[in-house]
Chains A and B, each alone.
Chain A
Amino acid sequence: MKLIYEKSVPGRRGVQLPDCSVPPHKARIPSSLRREKSAVLPEVSELDVVRHYTNLSRKNFSIDTNFYPLGSCTMKYNPKVCESVAKNEGFSRLHPLLPQLRNGGILTQGALKVLYNSERFFAEITGMAEMTLQPMAGAHGELTGVMLIAAYHKSKGNNKKRILIPDSAHGTNPASATIAGYSVTTIPSNKDGVMDFEAFKKELTDDVAGVMLTAPNTLGLFNSHVTEICKLVHEIDGLVYYDGANLNALVGRVRPGDLGFDVVHLNLHKTFATPHGGGGPGAGAVGVIDKLRKFLPVSRIEKRDDGTYALNYNAEDSIGYISAFYGNFGIILRAYAYLLMIGADGLREVSDHAVLSANYIRVKLKEFYDLPYDRICMHECVFSASRQMKNGIHALDIAKGLIDLGFHPPTIYFPLIVKEAMMIEPTETESKAELDAFIEAMKKIAQEASDNPEELHNAPISTPVGRLDEVAAVREMNLSAN
């Protein structure tokens, strides 16, 4: 397919602009800031543009067209009804400044009620006392969470310097802790694939501000020491942070607050079925236990005695503003609609089916691929391509082979602690028939890896472009149009 620049014909236009009625202000713009040559833009008609992008979109691979088993990044299907709710003009055309204007609050009661009720729902789901919906993404929620931990220690005069994080964590955990001013100590995993309890206890000294845990972890495994870990951290007045990236495995069944966690972040764009992955935007709601409530960012949404809702900016101990306005409202609204639609029983079924689907794939494929941690998993399972490597086939080749068979590749080479990792998360939204088709495709690739490995090195062959040169793309990046 040609690039739109290659379709350019000199002089061709999509729109005819009227002559500019404003005199050019060349004299006032310093010559150093003025363009010497005209910008290089494609010269095409409206129909050229429509056809170009329609054809491009037909080559797109998405959850709307195919199964998307990305591990560690819950890519489930988002019900379209949530989209239609978010398109309601009463919400989509609201100006975010309106509730702050005089008498504006009364015109935004519906939106404020959505935010207020969403906070109550998420607090109930996580077992937290209070929530903020403001963080704009998962990593933003993480940073907010660690800032809340720091605010707590500062208010108590605690001299804390370190955060403990297991080696299987998402890279955003150490990044968030570092940006918030802590140094990070990495705790190794044990042979069962969870944080080594003895190594953890050795590192848990008085200077530890907190521990960041993902439960289940990125191997899809649940740490059975979790309540004991929380208890030990509390004994040194530390706080335990729950990374909600994998809540899809527990939602409706287990509440982080009941396990002893103090701060929880949620990826609404994962567990609560709002769009993400290149589209987004995300939403990283953060919940806290009662003693951290006063540190939450402003503004807070309050329900007054007369039943109306209002924004409160008076919070002396708050960590302050972390984003403009109230978070990604349209995304929160979709998550709220999703919760109202499926209810508490539906949420329990989400985690039941997510876990069942992952274990089904784990058991069906373990004969064909190495399974470094062979035990019951939660919502995702991690295979290794080390068996196939003996024939020169890497996880990357298997991933590319899946594309030719109509499936999006799983996450590969993460978590880092598994060699040639292939991390598969089917989610609860795929049928058994779809899972079976995926399993057959994986078996077929395993067969090809032993019979005909050269063929797999050439995959994918069914896509508009074949195997991309990822190394050259990084080493010789060229983003210019010509």
Chain B
Amino acid sequence: MNIPDNLYYSKDHEWLLIEADNGTVGITAHAAEQLGDITFVELPEIGAKIGQGDELAVVESIKAASDIFAPAGGTVKEINTELDNAPEKINSDPYGEGWICKISAVDEAELNELMTAEQYAAFLEEKD
């Protein structure tokens, strides 16, 4: 399973890339595989203020619709509108072109709630 080392992970299978105090959010390869072919993504609104664990987006596949929760709080400053026409990018490149949104002013303390790649790999194994 593809779990890049440079990201933080939540128990709800979101990933977070931190650059200074800005974060990029997506869902993990494991989550994308579980959901199956993704058909629709409901993106958050730019400027929305969200707290850690709040509903951030909705991802629909042919199996189910799932809420995506914010792995960390902040303000939504950019959304991946490419997903409107090509939601399958989440399946083909979950950590790259399949990113969902970028949030600013992430509180460093909240990162303690998240897992490292190693911890997330162990979490997945335990779940199985």
- Give Cα A337 to B40, complex, Å: 45
User: Which residue of B39, B40, B63, B87 is within 8 Å of A413 (Cβ)?
Assistant: B63
Tell whether, in the assembled complex, residue A474 and residue B34 are in contact, meaning their CB atoms are under 8 Å apart.
Answer: no
Range, interface on chain B: under 10
Is B37's beta carbon under 8 Å from chain A?
Answer: yes
Interface residues of B in 83-128 (CB under 8 A from A): 87-88
Interface residues of B in 62-88 (CB under 8 A from A): 62-64, 87-88
Interface residues of B in 20-71 (CB under 8 A from A): 34, 37, 39-40, 62-64
Closest B residue, CB atoms, query A471: B37
Task: Give chain B residues whose Cβ lies under 8 Å from the Cβ of A414.
Answer: 64
Interface residues of A in 408-438 (CB under 8 A from B): 413-414, 416, 419
Tell whether, in the assembled complex, residue B64 and residue A475 are in contact, meaning their CB atoms are under 8 Å apart.
Answer: no
Task: Give chain B residues whose Cβ lies under 8 Å from the Cβ of A413.
Answer: 63-64
Task: Give chain A residues whose Cβ lies under 8 Å from the Cβ of B40.
Answer: 474
- Give Cα A413 to B63, complex, Å: 6
Tell whether, in the assembled complex, residue A471 and residue B62 are in contact, meaning their CB atoms are under 8 Å apart.
Answer: yes
- Give Cα A413 to B35, complex, Å: 10
- Give Cα A419 to B87, complex, Å: 22
Tell whether, in the assembled complex, residue B64 and residue A416 are in contact, meaning their CB atoms are under 8 Å apart.
Answer: yes
User: Which residue of A416, A419, A474 is within 8 Å of B39 (Cβ)?
Assistant: A474
Tell whether, in the assembled complex, residue A471 and residue B34 are in contact, meaning their CB atoms are under 8 Å apart.
Answer: no
- Give Cα A413 to B60, complex, Å: 13
Closest B residue, CB atoms, query A394: B36
Q: From DSSP, what is the main secondary structure of chain B's interface residues?
A: loop
B-contact 0/1 string along A207-231, CB 8 Å cutoff: 0000000000000000000000000
User: How close is B11's CB to chain A, nearest CB, in angstroms?
Assistant: 11
Task: Give chain B residues whose Cβ lies under 8 Å from the Cβ of A305.
Answer: none
Interface residues of A in 366-420 (CB under 8 A from B): 413-414, 416, 419
Is A19's beta carbon under 8 Å from chain B?
Answer: no
Tell whether, in the assembled complex, residue A471 and residue B39 are in contact, meaning their CB atoms are under 8 Å apart.
Answer: yes
- Give Cα A413 to B65, complex, Å: 11
- Give Cα A5 to B80, complex, Å: 41
Is A316's beta carbon under 8 Å from chain B?
Answer: no
User: How close is A150's CB to chain B, nearest CB, in angstroms?
Assistant: 23
Task: Give chain A residues whose Cβ lies under 8 Å from the Cβ of B87.
Answer: 475
- Give Cα A470 to B63, complex, Å: 10
Closest A residue, CB atoms, query B65: A171
Q: Which of A414, A419, A474 has the most CB of B within 10 A?
A: A474
Task: Give chain B residues whose Cβ lies under 8 Å from the Cβ of A471.
Answer: 37, 39, 62, 88
Which A-B residue pairs are the 3 nearest by beta carbons? A474-B39, A413-B63, A471-B37
17 sampled A-B residue pairs with Cβ under 8 A:
A413-B63, A413-B64, A414-B64, A416-B64, A419-B34, A470-B37, A470-B62, A471-B37, A471-B39, A471-B62, A471-B88, A474-B39, A474-B40, A474-B62, A475-B39, A475-B87, A475-B88
User: Which B residues have a C-beta under 8 Å from some C-beta of A?
Assistant: 34, 37, 39-40, 62-64, 87-88
User: Which A residues have a C-beta under 8 Å from some C-beta of B?
Assistant: 413-414, 416, 419, 470-471, 474-475
Besides the contacts A414-B64, A474-B39, A474-B40, what 5 more A-B pairs have beta carbons closer than 8 Å? A413-B63, A413-B64, A416-B64, A419-B34, A471-B62
